[in-house]
Amino acid sequence: MSIRHGLLALLSTGSRHGYQLRVEFEASTGATWPLNIGQVYTTLSRLERDGLVEPGESDEQGRVAYTITAAGREELARWFGTPVVQSDRPRDELVIKLAMAVAAGRADVAEVIHKQRTATMRALQRLTTAKRAATDGAAQRLVIDSMIFQAEAEQRWLDHCEAVLKEES
């Protein structure tokens, strides 16, 4: 989770102060990644410590605009140029629940699958509604798309579980 790099990316198109960064960060991630202003300032001061951004003079309202440095641009290019490692997934409760239900030979596995499939489909419907309503540009829609693909993968996996279990029974 790189708030650091997100802020650097925003600053690479021009100087901004903390509040602006927060608003733009949320807009481009479709508000799926809410930031509080405290996180923004903590991150900015670390970026400043590492020489990646520079604060300007404060304006009449006491706001300080930050500017990306050459080192900051280099760090940003390195980030964009490096693929994200498919890290170990956090343990998924659904996967564990189903594995346990199957291993324990519970009679209600099919019921667990049905319930989950309906719930996941509802979530997918909500995401699709959000996508249809998304008007803040492609970045926002693509973030929602990512969640749609994930929910869809879960749905397909549930269908697969059902088919495999039906075969085995």
Residues that bind another protein (CB under 8 A): 114, 117-118, 120-122, 124-129, 132, 148-149, 151-152, 155-156, 159, 163
Q: At which residue do the structure tokens 């319930």 appear? A: 115
| Closer of 7 and 127 to another protein (Cβ) | 127
Whose Cβ is closer to another protein: residue 143's or residue 151's?
151
Comparison of 7 and 98: residue with beta carbon closer to another protein: 98
Give min distance, CB of 139 to another protein, in A. 16
The rounded distance, in Å, linking the Cα atoms of 28 and 110 is: 40
Q: How far is the CB of 129 from another protein (least distance, A)?
A: 6
- If the CB atoms of residues 45 and 129 are measured against another protein, the closer one turns out to be 129
Ranges of H-type helices in 32-137: 37-49, 70-81, 93-103, 109-133
Minimal distance in Å, beta carbon 151 to another protein? 7
Residue 141 φ/ψ, nearest 5 degrees: -65, -40
If one counts every other C-beta atom within 10 angstroms of the C-beta of residue 115, the result is 11
Nearer Cβ to another protein, position 58 or 118?
118
Shortest separation between residue 87's beta carbon and another protein, angstroms:
25
Nearest Cα residue to 49 out of 26, 27, 71: 71
Q: How far is the C-alpha of 100 from the C-alpha of 80, rounded, in Å?
A: 40
CA distance 127 to 125: 5
Minimum distance from residue 124 beta carbon to another protein (Å): 4
